[in-house]
Amino acid sequence: MELKREYVNGMNEQGDFDPSSPPPFRIADIRAAIPKQCWIKNPWRSMSYVFRDVSVVFALAAAAVFCNNWLFWPIYWFAQGTMFWAVFVLGHDCGHGSFSDNAILNSVVGHILHSSVLVPYHGWRISHRTHHQNHGNVENDESWVPLPENIYKKLDTSTRLLRFTVPFPLFAFPVYLWYRSPGKEGSHFNPYSNLFSPQERKLVMISTACWSTMAIILAYVSFTVGPSHMFKLYGIPYLIFVIWLDLVTYLHHHGHEQKLPWYRGKEWSYLRGGLTTVDRDYGLFNNIHHDIGTHVIHHLFPQIPHYHLVEATKAAKPVIGKFYREPKKSGAVPFHLINNLITSLAQDHYVSNSGDIVFYRTDLNLFKLLSLAKSE
């Protein structure tokens, strides 16, 4: 039998803050605190970021071709992979409609940007919309959603180890695009996948065709310049981009020092789910990847342009109070987040099959299996 808990402003009977308590404010209160200018989308400003990022991408590629030495290649790989990630974030904004109020502009720019980094624009946009609409919901969330214990225990040993052992989860995104996550079916490329409604099938076909066109272009260029050179120019930066994407999206929903709740049924609401997201400070990369670390307000109000998120968050924090978790200040490079990632993957394995408020549990035997596998 579930005990009824009493809360006052998020505090339990012992006077401790409980992040799973019902917030004493409404989403309308947060919205009202955000200045009006934060909701304004400026397509010219949005396009300026596109021109900036695309110019840097081509400049880096030109520099790599010109230098073509092993002192420069590692610098190029990290820088270009980071720029691929920045380009993806702008395409992500197109998908939310925060890029501009013009749906055609959003779609055209989104297709160009996402196809360039081998992401099917509409396929991913639609599943990402599902993620935002159901954030924090064990049953309906889409991205890095926790596995119920019964599904977790059906996974074979190799799948469990790959899912929770660094660095393998950092290369999950391409697999997710094709097969989704354990316990879910469908593909971001298949218009008849259960990810999509019948009305969305044509959109998915268009995006899959754009993705295929980019894949053909890459294959042709690879044939022309040689696969080894193409792997250095595009392949390794693509893998760095995937690492960025998986690292950032995972840590926005995992790895906080305090265990955060996940919800089911009557306990879930859009506001409570959104408040389980976590802001992160990425140091000098904040501006490069368009303040994607300012994530709580983005999750609650994805229509706010990225260049207003910092201002909107500052205005909203007095309303959100202790339900907002101040990110740890980063140095120039966010090395501190590596510890958050490793700790979370070592502890956050599954949730209970029942209960409307659940927290991650740890499989104490998981890494014993890894030790055994290494010793064989």
- Render pLDDT for 220-257 as a digit per residue (tens, 0 to 9): 999 999 999 999 999 999 999 999 999 999 999 998 98
SS3 of 307-369: HHHHHHHHHHHHHHHHHCCCCCCCCCCCCHHHHHHHHHHHHCCEECCCCCEECCECCCCHHHH
Nearest in space to 163 (alpha carbons), one of 150, 146, 178, 149: 146
**Is the pLDDT at 197 greater than 60, yes or no?**
yes
Instruction: Give residue 2's pLDDT.
Output: 40
**Structure tokens that stand for 48 in this block:** 């300026």
One DSSP character per residue, 176-238 reads: HHHH-STT----TT-TTSTTS-GGGHHHHHHHHHHHHHHHHHHHHHHHHH-HHHHIIIIIHHH
Instruction: Give residue 4's pLDDT.
Output: 47
Write the burial class of residue 371 (CB in 10 Å: 0-12 exposed, 13-18 middle, 19+ buried).
exposed
Average pLDDT over the chain reads 93
Under the banding of pLDDT at 50, 70 and 90, the label for residue 17 is confident
Instruction: Give residue 15's pLDDT.
Output: 63
Chain length of the chain: 376
Under the banding of pLDDT at 50, 70 and 90, the label for residue 16 is confident
d(CA 340, CA 353): 26
Under the banding of pLDDT at 50, 70 and 90, the label for residue 5 is low
Instruction: Give residue 184's pLDDT.
Output: 86
Instruction: Give residue 373's pLDDT.
Output: 54
Nearest in space to 146 (alpha carbons), one of 368, 359, 373, 372: 359
Name beta bridge partners: 262. 358
Q: Which residue has the higher pLDDT, 295 or 372?
A: 295
d(CA 72, CA 231): 15
Kindly state the average pLDDT of the residues 264-285. Answer: 96
Nearest in space to 294 (alpha carbons), one of 284, 306, 285: 306
Instruction: Give residue 7's pLDDT.
Output: 47
The structure tokens 């052992």 sit at 165
Write the burial class of residue 182 (CB in 10 Å: 0-12 exposed, 13-18 middle, 19+ buried).
middle
The structure tokens 């081509």 sit at 58
**Is the pLDDT at 95 greater than 90, yes or no?**
yes
Instruction: Give residue 1's pLDDT.
Output: 35
Tens digit of pLDDT for each residue in 66-89? 999 999 999 999 999 999 999 999
Nearest in space to 296 (alpha carbons), one of 272, 324, 268: 324
**Is the pLDDT at 13 greater than 80, yes or no?**
no
Nearest in space to 144 (alpha carbons), one of 31, 237, 249, 256: 249
Report CA-CA distances (Å) from 154 to 76, 84, 147, 265. Answer: 42, 36, 10, 24
Tens digit of pLDDT for each residue in 280-309? 999 999 999 999 999 999 999 999 999 999
Kindly state the average pLDDT of the residues 108-136. Answer: 97
Under the banding of pLDDT at 50, 70 and 90, the label for residue 371 is low
- 137, 144 in Cβ contact below 8 A? no
**Is the pLDDT at 208 greater than 50, yes or no?**
yes
**Is the pLDDT at 29 greater than 80, yes or no?**
yes
**Is the pLDDT at 311 greater than 60, yes or no?**
yes
What are the φ and ψ backbone dihedral angles of 351, each rounded to 5 degrees?
Answer: -125, 165
**Is the pLDDT at 214 greater than 50, yes or no?**
yes
